[in-house]
């Protein structure tokens, strides 16, 4: 499976590169794309999609959400399955992902961890079991992360919202106001070198359930992204996610 990594010069791009060079899931590195000039030795790296000469079996994107349009334009034009692992997309960029999935297989997840997919399922089950409980989400990441709250925190909140249709999100909390009945509080912490922690707290007047996932290494997300590439490389056009792969 020949892989092209978009954002190969970044922290996560480097993690994917390392795992691909180790042959994880029989993957090989055919090229990279990065806005900065990067020389990795093992494969060519381009600063423009127009210069790419190789034909990968799949693209793995760990770049920046503003690069989504150019990425998907190239992928659709060349009919290449694409794993979009970047977060922070606005409404327009999200719509581009949905539109591209009508033409090629696109795997999109705010988090590439199977553990997070399980956390989502547990959170939904808990919210359903305790319909009157208060729910808060706390996410922690390193001090270099740009988007807040994290895409994974939003993913968790939206999955819970499927169980609680009236739920709305409160980002942080301040002032002199009582907590609303249907709100889901979402809180972001940025400090040090935290890889990623997500905690869902479900509390009633009599008990509290805490569900937590902690990433110990960024290689966790690289594994998931390569597994996703392997999953969609022969799939028909469509939008796939972690639940598609698990099921």
Q: Let me know how many helices (H) and strands (E) the chain has, helices first.
A: 7, 12
* Interaxial angle between packed helices 68-77 and 91-100, expressed in degrees from 0 to 180 and rounded to the nearest 10: 10
Is residue 64 within 8 Å of 123, Cβ to Cβ? no
At 140, is the secondary structure helix, strand, or coil?
strand
Q: What is the 3-state secondary structure (H, E, C) of 14-73?
A: HHHHHHHHCCHHHCEEEEEECCCCCCCCCCCEECCHHHCCCCCCEEEECCCHHHHHHHHH
Torsion of CA 39, 216, 120, 201, to 10 degrees: -130
Catalytic, 141? Answer yes
For residues 227 and 216, give the distance between their C-alpha atoms in angstroms, rounded to a whole number.
19
For residues 159 and 101, give the distance between their C-alpha atoms in angstroms, rounded to a whole number.
21
Selecting among 108, 124, 140, 141, the annotated active-site residue is 141
Selecting among 2, 103, 145, 235, the annotated active-site residue is 145
Catalytic, 124? Answer no
Place of tokens 């979009």: 84
User: Which H/E stretch holds residue 117?
Assistant: helix 114-129
Annotated catalytic sites, by residue?
141, 145
């Amino acid at each position: 499976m020949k892989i092209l990594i978009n954002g190969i010069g970044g922290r996560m791009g480097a993690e994917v590169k390392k795992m691909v060079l180790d042959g994880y899931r029989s993957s090989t590195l055919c090229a990279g794309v990065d806005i900065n000039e990067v020389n990795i030795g093992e494969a060519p790296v381009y600063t423009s999609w127009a210069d790419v000469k190789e034909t990968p079996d799949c693209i793995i994107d760990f770049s920046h959400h503003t690069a989504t349009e150019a990425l998907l334009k190239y992928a659709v034009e060349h009919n290449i399955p694409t794993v979009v692992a970047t977060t922070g997309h606005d409404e327009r960029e999200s719509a581009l992902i949905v539109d591209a999935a009508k033409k090629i297989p696109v795997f999109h997840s705010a988090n590439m961890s199977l553990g997070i997919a399980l956390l989502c399922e547990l959170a939904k089950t808990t919210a359903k079991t305790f319909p009157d409980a208060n729910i808060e989400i706390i996410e922690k990441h390193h001090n270099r992360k740009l988007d807040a709250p994290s895409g994974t925190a939003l993913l968790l909140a939206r999955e819970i919202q499927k169980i609680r249709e009236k739920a709305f999100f409160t980002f942080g909390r301040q002032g002199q106001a009582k907590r609303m009945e249907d709100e889901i509080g979402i809180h972001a912490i940025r400090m040090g070198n935290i890889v990623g922690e997500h905690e869902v707290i479900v509390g009633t007047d009599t008990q509290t359930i805490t569900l937590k996932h902690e990433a110990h290494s960024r290689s966790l997300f690289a594994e998931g992204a390569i597994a996703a590439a392997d999953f969609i490389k022969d799939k028909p056009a469509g939008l796939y996610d972690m639940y598609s792969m698990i099921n």
